[in-house]
Amino acid sequence: MRRITRLAAVATILPLALAGCGSGDDSGGGSGNAQAPEKTEISYWLWDSNQLPAYQACADAFHAANPEITVKISQFGWADYWTSLTTNLVSGNAPDVFTNHLNYYPEFAGKQQILPLDEFVAADGTKTDVYAPGLADLWVSADGKRYGLPKDFDTVAIFYNKKMLDDAGITEDQMKSLTWNPDDGGTYEKIIARLTVDKNGKRGDEPGFDKKNVKVYGLGLDENNGAGVGQQMWSMYALSTGWQFTDKNPWGTKFRYDDPRFQKTIAWWRGLIDKGYMPSLAIARSGTSVNDGFGAGKYALSTNGSWMINTYYGYDGVKVGTAPTPVGPSGKRATIYNGLADSIYAGTKHKDQAWRWVKYLASADCQKTVGDKAVVFPAIPEALTVAEEKFKAKGIDISAFTVQIHENTTSLFPITDHASDIGAVMGPAIDAVLSFEAEPSSLSKANDEVNALFQ
């Protein structure tokens, strides 16, 4: 999912010591009094502060129905979350349950750090066909075991500043029918150029435009290049050429960063920096996130995920709209289709209670609660309907994100082994290209290094 929110600091509800699970008695049995089951506290971690109120409401409802179980939630920023989780999984002090991501769960499963859910699902007769098509399958590993039940899904779209569009003479209808190609950028690049304004008021498509002194960039650059995935940065362009990350998905073993279609896409993307239409990597990493830069009026357009909707629409004085990603050379638009689930730590002392919480998180009841908060898109269609109505009541049209579901133009998040190692190779490689220290053709060598991981 999600990629997603990158908060700078840890915002922990409870001290880390309470969040870890490695202590306490198993309450699978009572204390000798069948009428008074032993009380159990289970820990639950998530990274998105925007989703915290929704899941606290789920925890409160779960506790009301299961008074012997208390769920204690801790929330971290994106980077801190994975650093802390990885450390605690190794040390044996991980939370009982945590929000998991498709980029990470194969590695956790391979190390037997999370529990397969198959026995729980079978024992309770839990249905896995109630979710949006394809989401449940994402959480079945290469060995056929299930490690999560879907809680939500996300796609990518373009956020735009309505006033800047008006000032540039661009209509919202134009934004809905953008085209793109890696040769001249199509109508998409023309609009990016038009929306770029230098400090003298010249636009990117006007004579005399000063690309070295830009006041408003047509397109924002995320401070995170997305390593080998580029979910909300470049994937939607590359995928719209017909390119795919791997030889098969999920569980591919051969990556395709050496494909000319991919390298031409990255070359075009970098070219926006050279033309002055998009900030340099150094500017993008100067301390302001891409969404805050948009909110501050530094960027007219910003590509980002559906999990960021409330952030973009929450900036004071900024009238925001959304448009679907552009139609590419394949004749279709594209977006990564990602989904989150919750996993159970293999070392938990409260397996049954943890499963009950995971099952509730994946239920229609909890997902309707989440949908009612209008923060993310729940995985269960009836809960998604609740979310759509709530977003609409807030004046937010989410069709730019959901159109690709209806048009079947989504591509699965690349699910493979060695995700951390792939990121360690591709992150610096793409950084070098964006910094003009290497050419896009250098990504062929990086591709060889990635594919060597599977040999």
Q: pLDDT tens digits for 204-226?
A: 999 999 999 999 999 999 988 78
Q: What are phi and psi of 438, to 5 degrees?
A: -150, 160
Q: Is the dihedral of CA 361, 366, 370, 373 positive or negative?
A: negative
Q: In 210-334, which residue ranges form alpha helices assigned H by DSSP? A: 235-239, 260-275, 281-284, 290-295, 309-313
The predicted model gives 126-142 an average pLDDT of 93
Provide the percentage of residues in the chain whose pLDDT is more than 70: 92
Q: What is the DSSP secondary-structure string of 96-124?
A: SEEEE-TTTHHHHHHTT-B---HHHHHHH
Return the pLDDT at 10. 33
Q: What is the DSSP secondary-structure string of 190-217?
A: HHHHHH-EETTS-BTTSTT--TTSEEEE
Measured CA to CA, the distance from residue 170 to residue 23 in angstroms comes to: 60
Cβ 395 vs Cβ 411: under 8 Å: no
Return the pLDDT at 35. 55
Check pLDDT > 50 for residue 92.
yes
For 179, which DSSP code?
B
CATH code matching the domain that covers 40-153+339-396, chosen among 3.40.190.10, 3.40.50.300, 3.40.50.720, 2.160.10.10? 3.40.190.10
Return the pLDDT at 34. 46
Check pLDDT > 70 for residue 324.
yes
Return the pLDDT at 24. 34
Cβ 34 vs Cβ 97: under 8 Å: no
The predicted model gives 43-50 an average pLDDT of 94
Measured CA to CA, the distance from residue 143 to residue 248 in angstroms comes to: 16
Cβ 298 vs Cβ 158: under 8 Å: no
Q: pLDDT tens digits for 273-301?
A: 999 999 999 999 999 999 999 999 999 99
CA proximity to 83, closest of 19, 10, 3: 10
The predicted model gives 91-115 an average pLDDT of 95
For 277, which DSSP code?
S
Return the pLDDT at 79. 86
Measured CA to CA, the distance from residue 316 to residue 320 in angstroms comes to: 10
**Whose structure tokens read 């956790």?**
108
Question: Domain boundaries in the chain?
Answer: 40-153+339-396, 155-337+413-453
Return the pLDDT at 224. 86
Provide the percentage of residues in the chain whose pLDDT is more than 90: 87
Q: List the beta strands (DSSP E) in 132-193.
A: 150-154, 156-161
With cut-offs at 50, 70 and 90, classify the pLDDT of residue 18: very low
**Other beta carbons less than 10 A from residue 22's beta carbon:** 16
The predicted model gives 373-400 an average pLDDT of 95
Q: What is the DSSP secondary-structure string of 331-346?
A: SS--EEEEEEEEEEBT
Return the pLDDT at 227. 85
Q: Is the dihedral of CA 415, 416, 418, 422 positive or negative?
A: negative
Q: List the beta strands (DSSP E) in 299-429.
A: 299-305, 320-323, 335-344, 377-378, 410-412
155-337+413-453 is classed CATH 3.40.50.300: no
Query: How large is the angle between the packed helices 351-361 and 364-373, nearest 10 degrees?
Result: 50
Return the pLDDT at 38. 85
Q: What is the DSSP secondary-structure string of 185-196?
A: -HHHHHHHHHH-
Domains 40-153+339-396 and 155-337+413-453 share a fold: yes
Q: pLDDT tens digits for 245-266?
A: 999 999 999 999 999 999 999 9
Average pLDDT, the chain: 91
Which tokens hold the place of 433? 């290209």
Check pLDDT > 80 for residue 25.
no
Return the pLDDT at 134. 87
Check pLDDT > 80 for residue 16.
no
The predicted model gives 33-53 an average pLDDT of 85
Largest interatomic CA distance in the chain: 84
